[in-house]
Structure 1
Amino acid sequence: MPGTVFRRGDRVTLCTVEHEDAEFVQRGHNHPDVGVSLGLSQPENESEAESHVAQYEDDPLNVSLLVCVDGEGDGPTPVGKVSLMDLHHTRPEISYWVLPEYHGNGYGTEAVELLVDYAFSAHEIRGLQAQAFAPNEGSVGVLENLGFTHEGTLRDARFRDGEYVDVVWYGLLREEWEDN
């Protein structure tokens, strides 16, 4: 079950990741549509998922939060995860995923918006960066809808589903976010 609420939006809340959430993270990482979009090429077993979740607690330079929607009776229901990585850099990287059964509801866009707002309000950073596989129109759409600028393409950079695909990089500067 997700931890405490860290940020609240209109439709989603960002909650801390707890030990009990390892099963959900594993489910997401092993989902054929999610894992491949994250560049994960091997399945994640239970102990690997637990280690993955334990990293979130022990690493002050990275922030990972569950994307949750209101559940029925049992509290928030996790639908995805957002992360802010390498906070010691002037342009940390964000990553995000939402389980496919929740696509099309705007949960990913709202969750990333909350994460970006947190990043700029709580940390002295110059900007943010994110990457996506070029064929992943949903992920690219999240970034473009939030004002990120396409900064470059790494051609044939990753191997996915039997073929090489381009990786696109996006960036957002603090003043662009504040002016938005």
Structure 2
Amino acid sequence: MIYSKTEKTIETDRLLLRLFKESDAKDVSMFCNNYNIYKSTLNLPYPYSLECALSWIANHEQNFELDRMYEFAITDKNTGQLYGAIAISNHKQYKNGEIAYWIGEEYWGNGYGTEAAKAIIEFAFKEKDYHRVYARYFKSNPASGKIMEKCGMAYEGTLKDHIYKNNSFEDIVFYGIINPMK
């Protein structure tokens, strides 16, 4: 992982994580206006309009500058193709943050989520000095849990029927990792 503080980018073997640009909004809207992504995310609206994407992107730079949240576009390092998004919150008082991510359905199964998540965890520990990183997923979306496991995160518990979405209750599964450099 190579972090550029001036560019606000993270480079991995295959990916460039960068801030979203207004010009990404059309692709974001296309990817997120997908029921299969909506049903496995906590806060994504559906349908997902271009206005939703523009509104979401509009706050990213300020969130980054104020150390509130670090939101990155997951892109191909060589072609610039957008694959998805990954973010980590910054709970300064607790020295921790939560990872959240989504990958456009046509790019599922290529390891982009895992590669981006590993880079974000390293960024949080090395660059932002977090003590802990955690993530959660709907039990009905085990692929998200596999990403967490591949990143070295450990299962911490399940909250039964914690979320009500799409007229049914969903279990939320928590994973976490402590900074190994501490």
Assess same fold via TM > 0.5: yes
2:35 matched to 1:28? no
The 1:85/1:5 distance shift into structure 2, 3 A limit, reads closer
Code of the residue aligned with 1:31 in structure 2: it is N
Structure 1: stretches of 5+ with no match in the other structure:
none
TM-score, reference length from structure 2:
0.85
Where 2:96 maps in the other structure, the secondary structure is coil
TM-score, reference length from structure 1:
0.86
Q: Equivalent residue for 1:150?
A: 155
Where 2:39 maps in the other structure, the secondary structure is helix
Aligned counterparts, 1:1-180, within 5 A: 6-39=9-42, 40-59=44-63, 60=66, 61-70=68-77, 75-88=79-92, 89-175=94-180, 178=181
The 10-residue stretch of structure 1 (22-31 or 139-148) with the greater mean CA deviation from structure 2: 22-31
Code of the residue aligned with 1:64 in structure 2: it is E
Using the TM superposition, give the Cα deviation of residue 139 of structure 1 relative to its aligned residue in structure 2, in angstroms: 0.4
Structure 2: stretches of 5+ with no match in the other structure:
1-6
Code of the residue aligned with 1:151 in structure 2: it is E
What are the superposed Cα offsets for residues 14-56 of structure 1, whole Å, 9 maximum, x if unpaired? 1221111122222232211112211235323222221110111
Q: Is the 8 A contact 1:5 1:13 kept in 2?
A: no
How many residue pairs match? The answer is 171
CA–CA distance in 2 between the matches of 1:86 and 1:5?
A: 16
CA–CA distance in 2 between the matches of 1:13 and 1:155?
A: 36
Code of the residue aligned with 1:48 in structure 2: it is C
CA–CA distance in 2 between the matches of 1:22 and 1:154?
A: 34
- RMSD over aligned CA atoms reads 2.0
Identity of aligned residues (%): 27
